[in-house]
Structures are given as structure tokens and as C-alpha cells.
Structure 1
Amino acid sequence: MEHKSTSAIQLILDYLRHEGVEYIFGVPGGPLTMLYKALAEQDGITPILAKHEEGAAFMADGYARVRQGLGACCASTGPGSTNALTGIAAAYADSIPVLLLTAQIAVAALGKGAAQESSPFGVDTIELFKHVTKLSAAIPHEQKVAELTQRALRLALSGRSGPVHLSIAGDVAGKPVPHKLIPPHQYRPENRPVDLDSLSQVAELLTNHQRVCILAGHGVNLSGGAAALRQLAEEQHIPVATTPKAKGVFPENHPLSLGVFGFSGHPQAEQYIFSDQLEVLVVIGSGLGEIATHAWNPRLMPAKALVQIDIDPEMIGVNYPVNVGVVADARTALVELKKLLPPNSSSRASSLAQAKDPLPRYHEAHLLEAEHSPLYPPRMIRAMQAILPEDTMLFVDIGNCMPWFLHYYEVRHPHSFFLGLGLGSMGSSLGMAIGGKLAAPHRPAVAVLGDGAFTMNGLEIHTAAEYNIPVIFIVLNDGGFAMVDQGENLLFGKSVSPSRYKNALDLCSVAQGLGVKAFRVSTPSEFEEVLQKCLDLNEPCLIDAQVDPQLIPPTLRMRAETLKSYFEGKTRH
């Protein structure tokens, strides 16, 4: 059968469109001209102009997280490509499927000292991205376009998902190729196998023990397993804690919720899991790294059995010896495990209520009520919970905003709380919120970040203004890198690095200069009034929230103790 022809770059775009991609984020440049020409000649994928390639990568990341599918971004040769590195590395650390499409100089010019050459004869970006992607490859010839595109998409969206990188030379991009497009199910698997024999052992452990618990990790989110997790927990009356990266995958206002376990977690989760009475702990979709385990605390080991379920066999048993290890996609494992279990009596629920009753939900809960100026972040969180709609998407940055919101913000619906904690890249929330809002335009989107994070990618609010993407950017302005300053004071009794600004940032002036409405607030009543106003405006807005620079998140003290043990060479093994 004879197929119509198209250009090599247009064929790549057609594959992206079939994967549901609606936007590609990037910064144009001469070597990318054929890509943008192809975008201009088609419908279905809209190019979004970012201010920086790192921001573009974070936008693709946020889009992929919210849509639970593929995100796409592009960059030109040389510095355009290297600028995207941190954003792609962050997607890799959090297993987010993003396709980065970069340009390359013309094949005929390779090795001749062409401007911004990014081949092995120059700054080799193919090799550079191999360390932070599941695939980094150059498309050497137009005949390889379909094959390499399919391979990239298969790797990005199969198994433990993650970013991929394809580089195409300008002269290859425009060459004609057969327009032979096959649907996704013909080049990547859609079924997700599970080891039923091992899962039967898990079912037996849960059936024969009363004091059990599920620790749900980021893999449950990635697999779309939130509903299956809730069904299993409710039917079996099993309490659920989440790792920090998985916050909200189980509703935190649910009677079976223990909240977050690990960094900035909740006392109920910590005491329940660390209790000598816990018999079986089932870990689903977590590699049990430092952040998820209170720095590999040995008390996490239950009295009878530790079960670890993960899609990546290399994650099982790495940090804790397991009694049963199951290699499986989280959602599939939860669905199949539910089938294997007989109905459970309500006795588990009553024992959980007794265990939770004397335990506080929060550390220093009085901070939620503090009528203080400058603002206390927990009091801001209380206002946000009252004002923001239930389906609001919250994108939280790295810095002190992270422990505040991990601990005090109650997430009531899955896929509503987004945090790039794998790499921990400051400035990520701005781009992620923009991409996330484009993926779900019907849901309110809020980014929360510090003034230090704003200085890194803050110009991306101009992208929101340019395309009228109504994100509310809430900046906790504490005069610099407060987490660093406070951490040093906890460790050494003084600051040892230049972490505070000598000149306060006038974020309202910056935002207004970029076309974004901005408001400065310093009291709870001002914050409440302005937050409601920003919601009603339904356009990009920035709130410059003057927060108390001396108030230390309670959980940061615990983090400081962990760092101290590192410096003293006392890490747990």
C-alpha cells in the first residue's frame, strides 16, 4: 500500500499528537526553524514560548503530571539544549514522561566547527542527556525517524516512566518520509503484568494479621492507582500513610488516613508505623529513600513482615530487607490484591481509631490560628483551605514552603498536590503550574514558592501573562534562602553562608513589569481578601506574601538533625 509523504519533523509531531500531546514548550532558535515551521502548518499541537529552556522543561513536566501522560518540550543547539538539562533531570528523578526534542546542525557541517555544534565533535548533548533520560539519541537519517520516535515513546511511557531525548538535524527534519503512522498500542505495551504468586503471599500476610498498614509512594500516583488504593483500604480497613512525594494520593481527610510519613510528615503516621505493634507494612511504589523513611530509620521494620511492591526490580530490597518483594505496576497490584483478599471485619477500623485518638495530627497546631504580621505560613494555609475550591491544583516549590505545605496543607483529592522532590529543583513550581493549568484548564492552579525560588525562574510568569494562563503565584517572601539560613543556625548556632538578601525584592514591581497583576500582603485578613480577588479575576496574579523570616518549620529541626549526622559520618546503613 502506498502512503502519502510528509516531512520527518511533521511525522514526529503526528506521533506526539496521537499520544495526546496538545502543547510543546520551548524557546525557538535558527536550528529549530523546521520544527516551528511544521508546527505553524498543522493543527493540534500549540507551541508555547517559554523564557528559558529550563522553564520549558518544567512546563512539560507539570503538563505530564496533571494529564498523566506525555509532556513535550524543545530546545535549540548548544546552550539551548544545555539550558534544558536541569528540568529534564528533575523529570528523570521523579519518573515523569517528557520528550525533549532538540535541534542539531546540518549533517554536512558536522565536525567542521559550526556554531553551537552539539555532536560528538562539539559539546556532545546526546551523551550529556544519556545520564538523565531513558533514551538520548540522534536521528541520523530520515529513514530512522519512525523507528526512533516509537522507541522513545515506548521507553518514556512503559515500565518506570521517564524523560527521553531525540536530536534531529535541520536538514534531516525537512526531508520527506512516508506518512505511515501506527497507533500507540502497536509500538508500546498497554497491559501491565504482575507476579500473582508473590501477590498471593501478600494477601496471606494481610489476611492473617490484624495490625497492618500501607505506605503509598509516588509510584501509586504515576500508575493512576489512587482509586484502587482507596478501594482496597476501605474494603480491608487498612490505614494508609503516604511518602512526601505521594502526598494526597490517599485523601488526607479520610478516616483511614495517617497523613504523610517521612520528611515533614505527621505524628500519627510516624507513631503508627514506628509502633512495636505494627505487624505488616506494605510499601507500594516507593524505593524507601531518605525523604520517605526519616533517613532510613531502622524502626520502620515491622514486627512480622515488610512487603515492597515496585515496578522497578532494582528498587526492591535496596534499603530494607523485605519478606516479600513484588515486581508490579502499583495500580495493577492493588487491583489484583483486592481480588485475592476476603472481606475484612471492622475490628481493624476500631483498633485504628483507638491508636490515632491520642495522637495529634500536626506539630505546633496553634500556628494554624496565629493572627500574626508578618504572616505565619500555617495561617495562610488555613485560609487557602477555606477559600480555594476543592479541585484546586497546588504546585509547591523547594525551600521552606515545602515543609510548611507538606505538613499543614490537607489534600483531599488525588492529583491535586504536585512537588518536584526527586531532584529538589528550586524554581520548578512556576513552570509546572503553567503546564499543569494547560493540561486541566477547568481546574484552579496555584504555585507556592519562596522569593529565592522566584529569582531562579520567576520570569516565566510572563509566559502565563502572554497566553493568559490564569495561575495564582503565591510567593512566601522571607528575604532570601530562609531554609539555608535557619538550617545553619540549627546546626552551628549561626549563619555561615550569604543566604539572606541585603535588599528586599520588590516582587510586585517585577510582576507588574511582566504584565501580571500583583498584590503585597502582610496580615491574614489581607491575604484572604487578595486570594479571593485573584480567584475572581481568573487571570495570572502574583501575591507577594510577607512572611516571618524567623519562624522555623517544626519539621526543619528534624531535618537539621539528619544533616548533622551526615556531617559526623553517622548515616544509617
Structure 2
Amino acid sequence: MMQLNGAEILMECLKEQGVDTIFGYPGGAVINIYDALYKYQNDIRHILTSHEQGASHAADGYARATGKVGVCLATSGPGATNLVTGIATAYMDSVPMVAITGNVPLALLGKDSFQEVDITGITMPITKHNFIVKDVNDLAATIRRAFYIAQEGRPGPVLVDIPKDITAQITEYIKEKPRVVNKAVENITKEDINNALKLLKEANKPLIYVGGGVNHADANGDLVAFAETIKAPVCSSLMGLGGFPGDHKLFTGMIGMHGTKPSNLAATQCDLLIAIGARFSDRVISKMEAFAPRAKILHIDIDPAEINKNIKTHYCIIGDVKEVIKRINEKLNPMNRTEWINQIDEWKNSFPLSYKTNGALKPQAVLEKIYNITKGDAVITTEVGQNQIWAAQYYKYTKSRTFISSGGLGTMGYGLGACIGAQLAQPEKQVINIAGDGSFQMNCNELATAVKYNLPIIIVILNNGVLGMVRQWQKLFYDKRYSQTTLGRSTDIIKLAEAYGAKGYEITNEVEFENAFKEALEAKEPVVINCIIDEEDNVFPIVPPGAAIEKVITEE
């Protein structure tokens, strides 16, 4: 038992939870917390980012790369609101995160005080839960509860708002072991497993659709065994990449708006769709009534709120997807579906992912080079837009937690912060951020953070001088009315990188890229590779808005 102030109690609670790294930015309302961080610097590493949004994205990247809870810290008012985009990003992709904000002293709450906002009110729709601590005696219990909620069931972000005077008040601290977060298995019944087995036995053309829940549950190995035993092709949402090996013969690629033609045809023709840890996002299903029209749907998910939310299911199993698949696997007998697999292989041969070469540097070729040179053994983070989809399509993800991207919210400016967080989480891994020039310039200030901590990250910018994805829509669906998507900036990216203290390369062909990328891998410092690509390079396949996913447009 110890007498500690609130800030010190916060430090002790973070230590209890096994937190070794937090990302943040100081300010008046959290000055007592930063004073405690000074005292606890041998136990907890604080990463000073350039902006609070960078801190939230870094905490998110740290969490996605490890499965642990990411932690970010900001002061009151603008510091707290700068976390909002990062909190929403984590919420949409079910990322376990605890965001800690300072606030004005209790007596000044609700009086429009300097740097005061109602951050719990602001973040209510984008957190699993949030708290404002109004009694120092409740602080330790609140922090412990926040970490439990962030990890329990479907993960997500939790915010804890701590008024400044609470961090200064003294009370007793008694150390506790963290509450064990058990897997959600209480709703999985024998009847569920038997019903799933019956559906599998009756199906002639099953298709497995993998979502981000497979990665959260680290169910990659169990899923491979399941697919190989029932002889079913496997497609993936953007967030599901890495949940099933991208180089496996049963993998058909992504499904949906930017899905492969084999995946989208398989979804249209299958008689059983097995959705695992997936939420049937609009980017996957497109035209609802035309999605998997011939199929019974078996939905396996940890969150009961996802069942029948977007697509009517025929049968569901609620629980930890790793445990569900494991229990099904225990009772499975090998199945044979030669005809269906032959059909899938025929589609894969007829409609491979492809792009036209014309001597210019192609973004798809850049991704293929990165994959070949790293032998698929890197962690890839992305920004949002064309760069994100090319990274999803042309790099094969064989393991969970190797593709880190903002899926649900689609946050431009996410990738660099996430790259920093992932590199700090996995120092032995090579972490590479794939960026577009539009996204890069949103949060390029975090280059200062990468340089300060000498992180060996590589930022590959696919620079076409335009807001590529929006421009592509304008080209295909808006009669080429390019409203405000041609950036027309004269920024010298190499000078910008060098001004921050990073190394910079400008690239116009594949040979230059290969040489620069190999040098970057050896450099062991932050490197920016600015790849000049054509503004007419577009992402294919693409499903037109409102069309059935089988109506996918390929480049031809």
C-alpha cells in the first residue's frame, strides 16, 4: 500500500497492464502526468509525436502490430479533439486502444474554461466506453476497467478523461493483477457446431469470406486447416488480409468493390457463404439484393450486433472465431469438391490481377518489387486511396498483423503514424508505409518523429500529383469533371524529407526503384522514396456504384 498522487497512480496502473510504450504530446492539463512520466521513464517509454493525431494513429499501429492495447495521451481541449480522428479510426476497425486526456480542474468543468471541451460527449459514438474521473479514489479502478473493456469481446477504443486536480490529489494505491480477459465462448453450443457441420456437408459450392476478426483472434492457422479440410476457396475483405495466406492455392483475393473477379464470381455462384469475423461492409456487398443470391449464409462473429445488420443470415455462431473454427475442425471429416475447385481455378486463370505496362513506372510493379525483395516478410502500413488498394492487391500477406490500414473510416494521413507505432512495436521487422502524395502531405510532420527516434521505416510515395481515387471516380462516373483533384503543388518531397532529417530518393523507373529500395533497407534510418507515376494509372478491378459485385470492371 502506497500514498501516491493521481498521476503516479496512473503510471502504476499502466505498469500493471504491461504497458511499455505510450504516444503523446504534453500540455497544461496533463503536466502532472508528464511529471510522473519523468519519474517513471525507466518503466514506460514515451514517444513524443508531432501532433496528437499522429499519437493516436501510432497507438493504433502499435496495437494492430501486436494485439496489445495501444495507449495515447493528450492534453485538454484541442489536444483531446486532435485524437478524435484516430479514436474513430480504431473504433471502425475494432482496435484495442486506451486514449487518456487531461481536462480542466473539477471546479472549472462546464464553464467554457480555457482549453475545455466535453471530450466524453464528443467521443461517445466512437468509443466502446468512456469515462471522466471525478474522484481520485476511482482512478485506479477506472484505468483497469478501461483496459479490460478495450480488450474484452470485440476490441475497441476506450477514453479516460482526467481533470487536472485529480492528477495532483493523493490517495492510497494498492497494486492489483490485471483482470484476465477470457475468450468469448459462453454462447458457443454443441448445437451450433452440429448445425455448421450439417451446412458444410450439404454444400456443393462453399466460399469462406474472411474479415478482420480472424486477424484479431489470431486464427490464421485454424482457418487454413478448416479451408483445406472442407476444400473451399477463401476470399477476404480489406481488413481480413493476412487472416488467410495470400499465396495459398485456395485464396482468391479480395471480395467486393475492389475484389478480384474470381472472388466476386465465387460469391455470386456459391451455395454456402461462410463469413468469419466479417461485418458485410457496403464495400464488400455493394448491391445488397444481388449479393450471394444462391447461398445460405453462415455468419461466425464475436459481436451479436453484426448478425443480420447488413445481410440476412441463415445461421450464426456468436463467439471467439478462433475457438469456433477450432471446435468445428475437431469434428470435421475431409471433404472433396473437385468440380468447384476446378471452376475456381479456371476463373483464376482466366481473370488474373493484371496491369498494362508502357515503359513508365507502374504502381503495381512497385508493390511487386517490394514483395519480391522483402520475400513477403515485411509489415506494410498504408495511407488511404489508390495506394491502399494497390498495396492490398499486389503484396501477398501470409500472416496476421502484417497489413495495417484504415479500412472502416478510410483515414487519409493514417499510415505514417501507424508505421511509426508498428515499427516501435516490432523493432525486428521491416515496416514500410505505402502512401499517396495527397495522404502523405496530411500528416508528413510525423517524419520528425521517425527521425527523432531513428526508426528504420521506409515511406514509398506513389506520387501521381492528384487525389487519385476521387479522380478515378470522376473519370469513370462523372464524365471526367476533375473538380479539385489535381493537386498542382510544387512541393519538393526530397527537400522536405531532408529538411526533417530523413533520406530521400526520387524515382521514375523500375531499375531506379529497385536500387533505391535496396539501399533503403540497408540504411537503418527513415527513408522516403518518391515514385513518380502517371495520373491515369487507376485501380482495377472496380465495381460501379450500385452494381452487383459480379459486374466488376477490369482494366480491359
Contact 2:376 2:395 in 1 (8 A): no
The 5 Å alignment of 1:35-74 reads 35-42=33-40, 43-74=42-73
The answer to whether structure 1 residue 355 and structure 2 residue 380 are counterparts is no
C-alpha distance in structure 2 between counterparts of 1:337 and 1:206, whole Å:
10
CA positional deviation for 1:310: 1.3
User: Could you tell me which residue of structure 1 aligns to residue 164 of structure 2?
Assistant: 170
User: Could you tell me which residue of structure 1 aligns to residue 388 of structure 2?
Assistant: 402
User: CA distance change for structure 1 residues 74 and 349 in 2, over 3 Å: closer, same or farther?
Assistant: farther
C-alpha distance in structure 2 between counterparts of 1:333 and 1:53, whole Å:
38
User: CA distance change for structure 1 residues 504 and 224 in 2, over 3 Å: closer, same or farther?
Assistant: same
Cα offsets for 1:418-459 (capped at 9, x unmatched): 111110010101000100111111010000011100111111
The answer to whether structure 1 residue 183 and structure 2 residue 173 are counterparts is no
CA positional deviation for 1:298: 2.0
Cα offsets for 1:165-210 (capped at 9, x unmatched): 1111222112223222222235x44554342222320111113333
The answer to whether structure 1 residue 301 and structure 2 residue 293 are counterparts is yes
C-alpha distance in structure 2 between counterparts of 1:507 and 1:65, whole Å:
29
User: Could you tell me which residue of structure 1 aligns to residue 108 of structure 2?
Assistant: 109
User: Could you tell me which residue of structure 2 aligns to residue 282 of structure 1?
Assistant: 274
User: Could you tell me which residue of structure 2 aligns to residue 272 of structure 1?
Assistant: 266
C-alpha distance in structure 2 between counterparts of 1:509 and 1:257, whole Å:
42
C-alpha distance in structure 1 between counterparts of 2:111 and 2:67, whole Å:
43
Contact 1:264 1:406 in 2 (8 A): no
User: CA distance change for structure 1 residues 360 and 553 in 2, over 3 Å: closer, same or farther?
Assistant: farther
The answer to whether structure 1 residue 227 and structure 2 residue 231 are counterparts is no
CA positional deviation for 1:478: 0.8
CA positional deviation for 1:295: 4.3
C-alpha distance in structure 2 between counterparts of 1:358 and 1:134, whole Å:
42
Contact 1:479 1:505 in 2 (8 A): no
C-alpha distance in structure 2 between counterparts of 1:354 and 1:91, whole Å:
38
The 5 Å alignment of 1:15-164 reads 15-42=13-40, 43-118=42-117, 124-164=118-158
User: CA distance change for structure 1 residues 267 and 5 in 2, over 3 Å: closer, same or farther?
Assistant: same
User: Could you tell me which residue of structure 1 aligns to residue 553 of structure 2?
Assistant: none
User: Could you tell me which residue of structure 2 aligns to residue 568 of structure 1?
Assistant: none
User: CA distance change for structure 1 residues 385 and 133 in 2, over 3 Å: closer, same or farther?
Assistant: same
Cα offsets for 1:93-118 (capped at 9, x unmatched): 11111111000112233355531123
User: CA distance change for structure 1 residues 483 and 355 in 2, over 3 Å: closer, same or farther?
Assistant: closer
C-alpha distance in structure 1 between counterparts of 2:546 and 2:202, whole Å:
40
Contact 1:363 1:554 in 2 (8 A): no
CA positional deviation for 1:15: 2.6
The 5 Å alignment of 1:334-413 reads 334-341=325-332, 343-345=333-335, 347-348=336-337, 351-360=340-349, 365-367=354-356, 370=357, 372-373=359-360, 375-413=361-399
C-alpha distance in structure 1 between counterparts of 2:51 and 2:124, whole Å:
21
C-alpha distance in structure 2 between counterparts of 1:476 and 1:34, whole Å:
43
CA positional deviation for 1:353: 3.7
| Partner amino acid, structure 2, of 1:47 | H
The answer to whether structure 1 residue 516 and structure 2 residue 502 are counterparts is yes
Cα offsets for 1:338-389 (capped at 9, x unmatched): 1232x214x225641443134348656244xx3632x211111121111124
C-alpha distance in structure 1 between counterparts of 2:66 and 2:262, whole Å:
32
User: Could you tell me which residue of structure 2 aligns to residue 210 of structure 1?
Assistant: 204
| Partner amino acid, structure 1, of 2:194 | S
User: CA distance change for structure 1 residues 292 and 183 in 2, over 3 Å: closer, same or farther?
Assistant: farther
Cα offsets for 1:475-531 (capped at 9, x unmatched): 111113122122112112122421112233311111110111010001011011101
- Percent of paired sites with the same residue: 28
User: CA distance change for structure 1 residues 323 and 109 in 2, over 3 Å: closer, same or farther?
Assistant: closer
Contact 2:69 2:151 in 1 (8 A): yes
The 5 Å alignment of 1:315-330 reads 315-330=306-321
C-alpha distance in structure 1 between counterparts of 2:496 and 2:232, whole Å:
49
C-alpha distance in structure 2 between counterparts of 1:151 and 1:301, whole Å:
43
C-alpha distance in structure 2 between counterparts of 1:456 and 1:444, whole Å:
23
Query: Which stretch of structure 1 is more off in the superposition, 160-169 or 35-44?
Result: 35-44
Match of 1:168, SS state, is strand
Q: TM-score, normalised by structure 1?
A: 0.91
The number of equivalent residue pairs is: 546
C-alpha distance in structure 2 between counterparts of 1:69 and 1:194, whole Å:
25
| Partner amino acid, structure 2, of 1:211 | K
CA positional deviation for 1:228: 1.5
C-alpha distance in structure 1 between counterparts of 2:479 and 2:204, whole Å:
46
C-alpha distance in structure 2 between counterparts of 1:412 and 1:223, whole Å:
15
Contact 1:25 1:59 in 2 (8 A): yes
Match of 1:554, SS state, is coil
1:502 paired residue among 488, 498, 509: 488
Cα offsets for 1:522-568 (capped at 9, x unmatched): 10110111011100111110001101111122234x2xx20699xxx
The answer to whether structure 1 residue 248 and structure 2 residue 242 are counterparts is yes
Match of 1:473, SS state, is strand
C-alpha distance in structure 2 between counterparts of 1:543 and 1:92, whole Å:
31
CA positional deviation for 1:55: 0.9
C-alpha distance in structure 2 between counterparts of 1:407 and 1:6, whole Å:
52
Cα offsets for 1:24-48 (capped at 9, x unmatched): 1111112111111111111321111
Q: Could you tell me which runs of 5 or more consecutive residues in structure 1 were left unpaired when the two chains were aligned.
A: 119-123, 566-573
User: CA distance change for structure 1 residues 366 and 40 in 2, over 3 Å: closer, same or farther?
Assistant: same
User: CA distance change for structure 1 residues 480 and 326 in 2, over 3 Å: closer, same or farther?
Assistant: same
User: CA distance change for structure 1 residues 237 and 177 in 2, over 3 Å: closer, same or farther?
Assistant: farther
CA positional deviation for 1:409: 2.2
C-alpha distance in structure 2 between counterparts of 1:6 and 1:349, whole Å:
67
Match of 1:555, SS state, is coil
Match of 1:36, SS state, is helix
The 5 Å alignment of 1:441-520 reads 441-520=427-506
User: CA distance change for structure 1 residues 563 and 299 in 2, over 3 Å: closer, same or farther?
Assistant: closer
Q: TM-score, normalised by structure 2?
A: 0.94
C-alpha distance in structure 2 between counterparts of 1:407 and 1:361, whole Å:
17
Q: Could you tell me which runs of 5 or more consecutive residues in structure 2 were left unpaired when the two chains were aligned.
A: 549-556
C-alpha distance in structure 1 between counterparts of 2:166 and 2:471, whole Å:
51
User: Could you tell me which residue of structure 1 aligns to residue 411 of structure 2?
Assistant: 425
Please provide the CA RMSD for this pair: 2.0
